[in-house]
């Protein structure tokens, strides 16, 4: 099972037409993506979009209904054990044995990984201020997440998979976790594949974004390119009586959402470019047109939040 | 391996508190003897028994608890993802869970047992328990199998319950079916009087169950991983797949056992030769199953008889045979066979919803008499049609002392001897004649004042019948039709008496009363001669290998010295050792007139002490092995013939 591009070194993560079904329900449908070495891939999606199923397939913990997930160019289901030697995992729910302390967990992991760095783990736990001798089950949610991250990084993995790691964490714990990931990226250039709801926390880290919508991968591109093509455009129309009716003037931008406000039109477009915008401004009747960049969260809401629809009456 | 070791250590560390708990529990036996209700039980015994129970509870309780919780709970809560996110194989995860459960259980059990063992100087396995162990497996193997089955069953039940999948219903059905298949396998071999085969089958079923539990767990975990429903489905498929394949193999093996022929006989324990000809009914162990065959020593052809075949009857020529197949309660089938064909094939001559007490062929083999409790029927063996039938009146008195009916054909008459039920230890035997031409049943007489079970022998014409009472050993000669006593041959007082008619109508009676003698009587029951024989515990009259010359076995039940006795001159000669005459071994159920013809091949058949069937010429002492472990091999062992 090798990567489909033999000339390049295998990508750490590759999904090929991955589909996961549970009986009649489909969690993921025909998802294909690839994460290059050193990238930080953020997979976004609403609850139930299929993110966790996809991560389980990626980690070789669940067999896809069709398609396949590749880790380092090999089928994750078949070669899970080997792939896990190079992968660190922080699950959505911290799942370490409740009776074991952080130190015991580190000792346990030391026997499994030849490159286990117990000192680095201990240092991280110290930085996180996690008590080493408290059973895992008695730690706070944030501390559990920190222990899981410390364990995930203990063998200097080439790939770090984070499944909604900040879920339920307070601001301080969230920031500490993100800083640790940033540090790891800075030190080692580890490839990161993460799923999250916490877009703000990882916006500065992600280099590439995927958005799952109803099981399908609606977006899969570099974050900068995504940001560049999404804009919020606000304008009014002096030719119409209400100044809020609109016609097909937004067609060039592939509007994903158009809302009518009291003062005019508020549209989110997915195919923005400056030249087209200048032509838009020159359209007779368009007044006060302005385009503003959007944070990732708003882009995500625009794509995954609602189906694209024009609201209000056509001009 | 490092994955297994790490997981094993982790599980033991997580559950390490069971060891101090066991240490505390180990003190309980020392507090037991003063308890109420144990008066009369030695303190030492009470301590040992309590410690053993506590120890067993720790061992098997922990194994069951950990089997039901460790992996099933982790899978259903998806916490198993922690292990699957590490470079550890599913097999290692399962093996570590199983091995740690075993280690924790055994370790805690030993700790709970140790103080009592040291104080009472008792071994880890109390001797008394060895006596209760019936399976025959060595106890470590049995305890290991129990641990595997317990762990596997607890795990399977827990996974099934947690998955809440409809597969659980299929599991229930498969479980019932598997139990039925296993029980059927035991039943198929259980009724053979060969315990080793039953033990092999029961051990194999335990081994299959253990193998299914050992293999299905890791397979299910490897396929299901974090998905409890897939794990459950795979566990079911693997468990029942392995289980049913194993049971199929067991049943195939049992079927193969039942296909064994006479050449597979390793032990021959009974033989009944036909009156003439070379066919013999042979019973023994072939492929671990007790089996009976009709075997032709001349052509080596054979016919396997059903498991419940009884009361086998030959025609006078030995060319036909019949037998009854059925359990004691019925129903029954009566089978007939022509043995002189190229490929003898038995056919059903008659069926009966109730027990058939007797089936007797006429000398020609064309007619068959059968009795049920209430009827006597004569059938034509070629068509199965009824030649004659008559109702029999109910027997008076209690029925617990059951005895077979007896009878024989005299021309166109069937003469039936039917014992009335016991009344204060005394019974009578009714004599009926069923005339096949008039189809009339007539009670022609009775043999009265019988004490205990009577054994009958009749002359070839059916005119005279010799009767020996099993209880008193009294012997008399009676008229065949009326039952009237012609002569008393012997009063009670002997420990052994056997009677046989010689071909010329004289009677030979082997008697052990102080010493062992063969008495020869005239046709009218008058003593002619008494021939002394070496005394022995067991005796048997064989056939006439030459007119007037009888073989007699003297010694033990299955190991006798064979003497050739000349009834005319009174001389005896030792001809072989370690043999038993085949003739007469079925005396109790034989038709009374079915003794061997003088010089018939059956007179030269003997059962050897090493459980083989041997042909011996009493005239020359030459012998050869016919059936048994070393078929056809020349006899060079201790059972050698003695030449004159």
Domain ranges of chain A: 13-225, 230-305
- Mean pLDDT per block of 10 residues along chain B (644 residues) reads 92 95 93 63 79 92 95 93 95 96 95 89 60 60 87 94 92 96 89 74 91 94 92 96 97 92 90 92 88 91 85 89 80 89 87 83 92 88 90 71 78 90 78 94 92 86 90 93 94 85 92 91 94 90 91 91 94 94 71 81 93 92 85 45 56
Domain spanning A13-225: CATH superfamily: P-loop containing nucleotide triphosphate hydrolases (3.40.50.300)
Q: What torsion, rounded to 10 degrees, do the Cα atoms A38, A42, A48, A51 define?
A: 0
Residues of A within 8 A of B3 (CB-CB) are 81, 112
Range B56-80 burial, b when 16+ CB lie within 10 A, else e: bbbbbbbbbbbbbbbbbebbbebbb
- Strand locations in A109-173, DSSP E? 159-163
Shortest CA distance from B225: residue in chain A: A61
Is the CB of B79 inside 8 Å of chain A's CB atoms?
A: yes
Task: Look up residue B446 and give its two tokens.
Answer: 């009775």
Q: Which of residues A310 and B149 earns the better pLDDT score?
A: B149
Q: What is the pLDDT of residue B83?
A: 95
Is the CB of B42 inside 8 Å of chain A's CB atoms?
A: no
Q: What is the pLDDT of residue A100?
A: 95
Sheet with B265-273: strands ordered across: B265-273, B279-286, B289-296, B302-304
Q: What is the pLDDT of residue B208?
A: 95
A230-305 topology per CATH: Alpha-Beta Plaits (3.30.70)
| Shortest Cα distance, chain B CAs vs residue A99, angstroms | 6
Contact yes or no for B336/B323 (Cβ under 8 A):
no
Cα–Cα separations (whole angstroms), residue B8 to B60, B144, B172, B411: 19, 19, 32, 85
Q: What is the pLDDT of residue B350?
A: 85
Chain centroid to CA B215: 35
Task: Look up residue A309 and give its two tokens.
Answer: 């629809």
Q: So what's the ipTM on this one?
A: 0.86
Query: Are B87 and A104 within 8 A, CB to CB?
Result: no
Q: What is the pLDDT of residue B128?
A: 52
Q: Give the start-to-end residue ranges of the domains of chain B.
A: 1-132, 134-258, 306-452
Over residues A28-80, the pLDDT tens digits come to 999 999 999 999 999 998 888 889 899 999 999 999 999 999 999 999 999 99
Residues of B within 8 A of A135 (CB-CB) are none
Over residues A223-245, the pLDDT tens digits come to 999 999 999 999 887 776 555 55
Contact yes or no for B320/B337 (Cβ under 8 A):
yes
Of the candidates A62, A99, A113, the beta carbon closest to that of B225 is on A62
Instruction: Write down the pTM of the prediction.
Output: 0.77
Contact yes or no for B199/B205 (Cβ under 8 A):
no
Q: What is the pLDDT of residue B514?
A: 84
Residues of A within 8 A of B223 (CB-CB) are 63
Q: What is the pLDDT of residue B520?
A: 95
> CB-based contacts of A222: which residues, under 8 Å, 6+ apart?
A207, A208, A209
Query: Are A61 and B82 within 8 A, CB to CB?
Result: no
- What mean pLDDT, rounded, does chain A reach? 86
Over residues A125-162, the pLDDT tens digits come to 998 889 988 999 999 988 998 999 999 999 999 999 99
- Strand locations in B392-463, DSSP E? 406-410, 413-419, 426-435, 440-451, 454-458
| Shortest Cα distance, chain A CAs vs residue B246, angstroms | 29
Task: Look up residue A234 and give its two tokens.
Answer: 């606000």
Q: What is the pLDDT of residue B639?
A: 46
CA distance B229 to B131: 44
Q: What is the pLDDT of residue B477?
A: 96
Of the candidates A61, A84, A108, the beta carbon closest to that of B6 is on A108
Check if A13-225 and A230-305 are the same fold. no
Residue A302 scores a pLDDT above 90:
no
> CB-based contacts of B46: which residues, under 8 Å, 6+ apart?
B29, B32, B33, B38
Q: What is the pLDDT of residue B135?
A: 52
Average pLDDT over residues A254-273: 86
Nearest in space to B54 (alpha carbons), one of B80, B76, B32, B72: B32
> CB-based contacts of B474: which residues, under 8 Å, 6+ apart?
B451, B468, B488, B490, B491, B492
CA distance B406 to B135: 42
Q: What is the pLDDT of residue B23?
A: 95
Shortest CA distance from B73: residue in chain A: A97
Task: Look up residue B367 and give its two tokens.
Answer: 């007619």
Residue A309 scores a pLDDT above 50:
no
Whether the bond between B331 and the residue before it is cis, its omega within 30 degrees of 0, is yes
Range B404-419 burial, b when 16+ CB lie within 10 A, else e: ebbbbbbeebbbbbbb
Classify domain B306-452 by CATH architecture: 7 Propeller (2.130)
Nearest in space to B418 (alpha carbons), one of B463, B470, B483: B483
Is the CB of B222 inside 8 Å of chain A's CB atoms?
A: no
> CB-based contacts of B142: which residues, under 8 Å, 6+ apart?
B133, B135, B206
Nearest in space to B473 (alpha carbons), one of B459, B456, B454, B487: B454
Task: Tell the burial category of A261 from Cβ atoms under 10 Å away from its Cβ (0-12, 13-18, 19+).
Answer: exposed
Query: Are A59 and B10 within 8 A, CB to CB?
Result: no
CA distance B197 to B612: 20
Of the candidates A63, A81, A95, the beta carbon closest to that of B82 is on A95
Of the candidates A96, A104, A112, the beta carbon closest to that of B88 is on A112
Which site among A69, A81, A85, A160 would you substitute to test the B interface, given the most B Cβ atoms closer than 10 Å to its Cβ?
A: A81
């Amino acid at each position: 099972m090798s990567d489909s591009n033999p000339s390049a070194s295998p990508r750490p993560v590759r999904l090929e037409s991955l589909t996961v079904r549970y009986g009649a329900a489909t969690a993921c449908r025909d998802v294909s993506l690839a994460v290059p070495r050193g990238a930080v891939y953020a997979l976004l999606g609403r609850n139930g979009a299929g993110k966790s199923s996809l991560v389980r397939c990626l980690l070789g913990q669940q067999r896809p209904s069709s398609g396949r997930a590749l880790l380092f160019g090999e089928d994750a289901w078949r070669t899970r054990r080997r792939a896990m030697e190079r992968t660190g995992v922080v699950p959505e729910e911290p799942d370490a044995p409740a009776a074991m302390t952080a130190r015991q967990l580190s000792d346990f992991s030391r026997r499994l990984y030849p490159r286990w760095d117990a000192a680095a783990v201990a240092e991280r736990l110290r930085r996180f201020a996690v008590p080493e001798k408290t059973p895992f089950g008695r730690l706070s949610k944030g501390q559990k997440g920190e222990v899981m991250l410390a364990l995930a990084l203990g063998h200097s993995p080439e790939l770090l998979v984070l499944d909604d790691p900040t879920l339920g964490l307070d601001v301080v714990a969230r920031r500490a976790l993100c800083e640790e990931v940033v540090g790891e990226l800075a030190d080692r250039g580890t490839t990161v594949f993460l799923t999250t709801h916490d877009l703000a926390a990882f916006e500065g880290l992600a280099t590439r974004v995927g958005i799952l919508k109803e099981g399908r991968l609606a977006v899969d591109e570099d974050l900068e390119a995504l940001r560049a093509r999404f804009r919020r455009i606000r304008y009014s129309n002096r030719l119409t009586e209400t100044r809020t009716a609109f016609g097909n003037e937004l067609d060039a931008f592939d509007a994903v959402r158009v809302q009518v406000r009291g003062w005019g039109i508020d549209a989110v477009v997915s195919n923005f470019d400056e030249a087209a915008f200048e032509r838009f401004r020159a359209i007779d009747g368009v007044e006060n047109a302005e385009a503003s960049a959007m944070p990732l969260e708003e882009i995500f809401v625009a794509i995954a939040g609602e189906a694209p629809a024009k609201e209000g009456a056509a001009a | 391996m490092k994955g297994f070791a790490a997981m094993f250590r982790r599980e033991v560390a997580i559950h390490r508190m069971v060891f101090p708990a066991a240490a505390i529990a180990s003190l309980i036996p020392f507090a037991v003897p003063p308890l109420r209700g144990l008066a009369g039980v030695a303190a030492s015994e009470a301590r040992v028994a309590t410690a053993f129970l506590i120890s067993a509870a720790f061992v098997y309780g922990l194994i069951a608890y950990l089997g039901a919780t460790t992996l099933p709970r982790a899978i259903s809560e998806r916490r198993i993802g922690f292990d699957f996110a590490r470079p550890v194989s599913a097999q290692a995860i399962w093996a570590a869970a199983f091995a740690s459960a075993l280690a924790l259980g055994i370790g805690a059990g030993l700790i709970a047992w140790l103080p009592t063992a040291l104080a009472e100087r008792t071994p880890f396995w109390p001797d008394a328990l060895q006596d209760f162990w019936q399976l025959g497996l060595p106890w470590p193997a049995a305890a290991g199998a129990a641990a595997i089955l317990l762990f596997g069953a607890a795990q399977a039940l827990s996974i099934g319950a947690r998955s809440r999948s409809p597969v659980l219903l299929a599991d229930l059905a498969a479980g019932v079916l598997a139990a039925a298949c296993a029980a059927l396998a035991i039943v198929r071999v259980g009724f053979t009087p060969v315990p080793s085969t039953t033990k092999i089958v029961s051990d194999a079923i335990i081994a299959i169950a253990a193998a299914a539990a050992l293999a299905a767990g890791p397979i299910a975990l490897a396929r299901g991983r974090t998905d409890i429903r897939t794990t459950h489905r795979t566990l079911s498929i693997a468990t029942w797949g392995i289980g049913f394949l194993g049971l199929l193999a067991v049943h195939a093996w049992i079927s193969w056992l039942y296909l064994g022929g006479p050449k597979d006989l390793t032990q021959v324990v009974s033989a009944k030769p036909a009156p003439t000809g070379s066919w013999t009914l042979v019973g023994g162990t072939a492929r671990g199953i007790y089996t009976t065959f009709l075997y032709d020593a001349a052509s080596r052809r054979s016919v396997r008889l059903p498991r419940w075949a009884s009361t086998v009857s030959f025609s006078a020529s030995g060319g036909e045979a019949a037998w009854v197949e059925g359990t004691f309660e019925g129903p029954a089938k009566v089978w007939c066979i022509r043995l002189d064909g190229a490929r003898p094939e038995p056919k059903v001559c008659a069926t009966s919803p109730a027990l058939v007490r007797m089936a007797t062929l006429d000398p020609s083999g064309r007619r068959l008499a059968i009795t049920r409790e209430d009827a006597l029927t004569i059938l034509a063996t070629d068509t199965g049609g009824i030649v004659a039938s008559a109702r029999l009146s109910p027997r008076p008195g209690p029925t617990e002392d059951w005895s077979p009916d007896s009878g024989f054909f005299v021309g166109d008459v069937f003469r039936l001897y039917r014992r009335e039920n016991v009344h204060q230890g005394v019974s009578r035997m009714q004599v009926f004649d069923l005339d096949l031409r008039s189809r009339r049943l007539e009670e022609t007489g009775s043999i009265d004042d019988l004490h205990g079970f009577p054994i009958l022998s009749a002359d070839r014409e059916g005119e005279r019948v010799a009767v020996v009472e099993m209880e008193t050993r009294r012997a008399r000669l009676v008229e065949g039709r009326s039952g009237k006593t012609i002569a008393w041959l012997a009063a009670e007082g002997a420990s052994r008496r056997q009677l046989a008619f010689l071909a010329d109508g004289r009677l030979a009676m082997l008697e052990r009363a102080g010493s062992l003698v063969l008495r020869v009587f005239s046709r009218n029951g008058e003593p002619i001669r008494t021939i002394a024989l070496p005394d022995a515990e067991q005796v048997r009259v064989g056939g006439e290998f030459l007119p007037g010359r009888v073989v007699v076995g003297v010694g033990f039940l299955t190991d006798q010295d064979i003497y050739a006795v000349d009834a005319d001159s009174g001389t005896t000669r030792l001809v072989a050792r370690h043999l038993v005459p085949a003739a007469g071994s079925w005396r109790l159920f034989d038709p009374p007139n079915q003794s061997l013809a003088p010089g018939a091949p059956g007179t030269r058949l003997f059962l050897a002490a090493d459980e083989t069937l041997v042909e011996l010429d009493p005239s020359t002492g030459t012998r050869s092995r016919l059936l048994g472990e070393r078929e056809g091999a020349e006899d060079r062992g201790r059972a050698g013939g003695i030449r004159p």
